[in-house]
Each structure stands twice: as C-alpha cells, then as structure tokens.
C-alpha cells in the first residue's frame, strides 16, 4: 500500500455509513451556497485560518518522504515543503519549486530548473544538491519505486546549482506529472533524526506541532507569490462528523473533506459555505480478469450493464458526484468523452451471461471494507442491482487490515477507491499495465500495454491524444474495472473564508491562496 492509497483512508472519509443509502438527494440541489472560491473580491492580508483535517494521533508522521496516512499530516507537509510541481487546472501540472522543465528528444532525460529566489525557511538558498538529496531519499523509501517510476537513484543528478536532471529507464512524456505528489525538498544531508524539524521552502513555516495539531505562520519570503494569511492552525479530527460539528460550533473555519452528509446538515446554515471539488474520488468495483468467475469479458460487460449508475450516484454519494463510464482518469484533459456512455441494459446483461455460460445458481462474494464511508454501501446497492440481471452477490465486509492483506490485488470481486483523480496514464501505470505493481484486477492486455508505451513515449500532442483514446477504449471494453461514478470532494467553510482551492485530488491542499474577509 503506497502513499496514494493510504491517504485515501482519510481523503474521502465523509459519508456516514448508516445513513448514506437513505440520504438520497439530487445533485441539482447541492450547489455551493457560498463563495469561498470567489475571485471577484480583492484579497486582503491578515488573520488566522483554523482548519480541521482528518487523521489519527496514532498514525502521525513528520517525515515528508514517509507514508502519510493522515490527511492532517499531508496538509501540514504540503504547506511547509514544496514539491517540484503541483496539480494545475490547465495544464494539469503547474510549476512550484521547479519553475520549468524540458525533456530530451527521446523523452528519457528531463531537466528541471529551480525557481529563482527559492529559499529554505532558515534563509539559505535552495540548490540542485538539496533536490537531488531529497529525491534520492524519497526513492529509498519502501514505496519509492512507485513514486518515481522508472527513475533509479543513480540517475538523479545536479547540473550546476539550479538544475536537476532525471534520467528515466524509458521514454516518459508524463514525468513532470509524477513529481507533483511527494517530491518534498529538504536541505542536503538532513538526517532521519532531524527530518521532523528540517526547514521547508513552502508558503508557511512551522511554528509548533503537537500530536497532529500544528500552527503554521506565513513565509514572507516565499518564491511562489503572495500569501495572505498570517497563519494556519491545523486541528486533527478522527471523524468527519466531529470535524463538521466543530465547524458548525465556530471552533474551526474550514472542515476539509467534510463530505456530503455534513454538507447536507450545513445546508440550512447561511453562515456556512459548501465548496465542491468535482471528480475528486473514484470508487470502482474490481473484477478479477486473470482467472475465476469474472475472467470472461462477456461476464464483466454484463455486470457493467446491470448497474444503474444514476441511482448509485444519487444514493451512495447523496448526489455529490457524477456518473462515470468505467474509465479511470476522468479529470484528464485527454479523457475520451466521445466513448459511448454505458447505461443500464438488463436484457443485454442476461444475454451476455447466457452466452458466457455464467453460473447464475451460485452466490458470489463481493468483498469490501468500511475504510471510507460509502464504500460498503456501494457494494450493497450493487448487489441489489445486479440481482435483477440474475447475478446473486453476497456482500462481505472485512476489517481494514484483512481487506488490504487478503483481498486487495487478489480477490475475484471487491471494492476499491482512489482519492487522486489523476491522468489516464497515471492510472494505467499504477493499475493496468501488465507489470504494474498495483494491478488490482490482474489484467493483462498486450494491445493496451503497447498503446501505453507509445503514449508515454510520444511528444506529438495529436498522436498522443489518439493513443490515449485507444487506451481508454480498450479499458472500457475489457478491463477489470466497473467505475460507476466519481465522488465530489466537499469542504465546508465559514462565511469569511475566500480563495479556497477547487481542484480535485491533491489540489485540495493548496491553501496558500486562501484569505479571510475579516
């Protein structure tokens, strides 16, 4: 389980389990009731933003290159330390500590030039040596290979004082995108013992840290632009309900990832804003393709056709989400909207099951966990829906550790989730290419692998878009994913908060743009 997955334990833990299925509502009445992202007002300096973030005191970490299972830890680290790049709107990769980047003609060698004037919080300049040290330290973590895929430590070097060179084992047009997540930079030579107090280069400096709670103060020398808030105070909460209650009581100003149920509770409060970040989380059902009862493509197609996606979004997500089309990476500019939206067709589903010789007398187990609320509920509703196509499914809830140890990557049928809505290539590299480390469905498709290799090795935009569409069509036709919907990220904020991030996934931590009206 790498950082991406563990962060998800908290990223979307928002829908209360017992009430999700009955909390039906339409997406139409869930528009933001405030203006936290209002760009018309003039930002002002000053004030302290009190932020609630999910986490467990027992899992707190201060290591920017370690595994951060707490949303609160990741938020703090992201505000103190800069990564080379960050999520953007258009394009989806924006500069941060790296001001620019340039590939070689063969797309294997990438040169990242550091931002001018970038300094650590102690006033010392950031050099390429610091970045090289940090990336090699990151690469040495247990999940380092998946964080910097194709980049061996020996191939991370400095060129002068302001340029970092990364040489990939293969052509990779997406390399800058992969540096967005945890390429946090610390000073060269920082020991493991000192890592918690290492100065960062980010928009805020750590004032104090106590058991998951922290106070950060503005870095007036930040290279990335104006920061308006004097300070941010992060308070850790173990449940979204407790966090939302603290917001309603005026104890915090922002409940990050409070979720749909909390949003509905707060809807009657005129002094609370709801900020939706569309396309925030994927919650697919995984069907094993390598062997077992779902190995036949016709069976997988039948299950996809048996699902009522509108009802899933309405009931499981309380309307705070959108229907998906079995393709991961819905936020990618190259997402293939031209591929026909799959809709429910029970007659065709039954026909496909008959053609495949699927045993409808059996009861099949759908494994799930309650790591994030809504996950088990999606399984229950799925089981109800596919029964109308003649498929009997029994939902089995597993304790988290058992699920990730025994079921994930191995099970015939199970729920999954991804809280970073990244590119089509990102998900392909993580979960679908034949030799990917997190191939959740055990899927192997030579045509898909070939299209992937060509896509990441192609710099021509038009050709690359064509190859990406080809990948998505193959995924749509035969992968092991049934992606019925995308959940919105939902934040709640006091009326005085402005400038909150609206990007999905990791874009949610970019609080340096926030400001207070009073």
Grade residue 147 by pLDDT with cuts at 50, 70 and 90.
confident
- Mapped onto helix, strand or coil, the DSSP state of residue 129 is helix
Would you say residue 254 has pLDDT above 60?
yes
Q: From CA 283, how far away is CA 263, in angstroms rounded?
A: 20
pLDDT digits (tens, 9 = 90+) for 13-59: 322 222 232 232 333 333 344 456 566 678 999 999 999 998 888 88
pLDDT at residue 389 is higher than 90: yes
Select from 216, 210, 144 the least CA-distant residue to 509. 216
Two tokens, residue 347: 């007659």
Bridge partners (DSSP) listed for residue 395: 366
Share of the chain above pLDDT 70, in %: 91
Please give the Cα distance from 512 to 63 (Å, whole number).
21
CA dist 436 → 145, 430, 512 (Å): 11, 6, 35
Global pTM? 0.80
Q: Find out whether 331 and 250 touch, Cβ atoms under 8 Å.
A: no
Segment 182-235, tens digit of pLDDT: 799 999 999 999 999 999 999 999 999 999 999 999 999 999 999 999 999 999
pLDDT attached to residue 373: 65
pLDDT of 10 reads 35
| Residue 153 neighbours by CB under 8 Å, 6+ apart | 136, 139, 140
């Amino acid at each position: 389980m790498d950082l991406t997955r563990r962060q998800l334990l908290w990223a979307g833990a928002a829908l209360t389990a017992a009430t999700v299925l009955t909390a039906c509502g339409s997406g139409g009445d869930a528009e933001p009731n405030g203006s936290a992202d209002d760009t018309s007002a003039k930002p002002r300096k000053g004030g302290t933003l009190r932020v609630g973030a999910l986490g467990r005191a027992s899992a707190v970490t201060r290591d920017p290159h370690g595994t951060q299972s707490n949303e609160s830890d990741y938020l703090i680290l992201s505000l103190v330390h800069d990564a080379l790049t960050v999520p953007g709107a258009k394009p989806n990769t924006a500069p941060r500590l790296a001001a620019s980047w340039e590939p070689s003609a063969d797309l294997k060698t990438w040169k990242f030039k550091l931002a001018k004037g970038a300094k650590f919080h102690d006033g010392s300049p950031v050099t390429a040596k610091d970045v090289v040290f940090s990336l090699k330290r990151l690469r040495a973590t247990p999940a380092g290979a998946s964080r910097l895929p194709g980049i061996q430590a020996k191939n991370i070097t400095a060129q002068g004082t302001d340029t970092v060179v990364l040489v990939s084992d293969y052509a990779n047009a997406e390399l800058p995108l992969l540096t967005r997540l945890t390429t946090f930079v610390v000073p060269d030579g920082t020991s493991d013992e000192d890592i918690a107090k290492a100065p960062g280069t980010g928009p805020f400096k750590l004032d104090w840290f106590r058991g998951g709670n922290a106070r950060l103060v503005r870095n007036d020398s930040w290279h990335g632009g104006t920061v308006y808030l004097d300070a941010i105070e992060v308070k850790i909460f173990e449940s979204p309900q407790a966090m939302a209650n603290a917001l309603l009581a005026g104890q915090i100003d922002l409940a990050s990832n409070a979720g749909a149920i909390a949003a509905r509770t707060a809807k009657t409060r005129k002094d609370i804003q709801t900020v939706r970040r569309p396309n925030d989380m994927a919650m697919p059902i995984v069907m094993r393709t390598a062997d077992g009862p779902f190995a036949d493509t016709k069976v997988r197609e039948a299950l996809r056709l048996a699902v009522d996606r509108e009802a899933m979004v309405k009931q499981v997500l309380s309307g705070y989400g959108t229907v998906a089309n079995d393709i991961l990476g819905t936020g990618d500019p190259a997402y293939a909207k031209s591929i026909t939206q799959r809709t429910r067709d029970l007659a065709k589903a039954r026909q496909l099951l008959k053609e495949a010789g699927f045993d409808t007398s059996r009861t099949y187990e759908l494994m799930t966990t309650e790591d994030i609320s809504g996950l088990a509920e999606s399984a229950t509703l799925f089981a109800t829906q596919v029964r109308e196509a003649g498929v009997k499914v029994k939902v089995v809830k597993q304790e988290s550790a058992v699920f990730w140890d025994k079921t994930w990557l191995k099970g015939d049928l199970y729920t999954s989730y991804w809280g970073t809505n990244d590119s089509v290539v990102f998900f392909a590299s993580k979960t679908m290419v034949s030799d990917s480390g997190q191939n959740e469905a055990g899927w192997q498709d030579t045509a898909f692998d070939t299209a992937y290799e060509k896509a990441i090795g192609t710099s021509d935009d038009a050709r690359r878009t064509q190859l990406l569409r080809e990948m998505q069509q193959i995924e749509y036709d035969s992968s092991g994913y049934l992606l019925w919907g995308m959940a919105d990220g939902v934040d709640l904020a006091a009326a005085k908060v402005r400038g909150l991030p609206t990007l999905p996934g990791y874009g949610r931590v970019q609080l340096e743009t926030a400001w207070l009206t009073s």
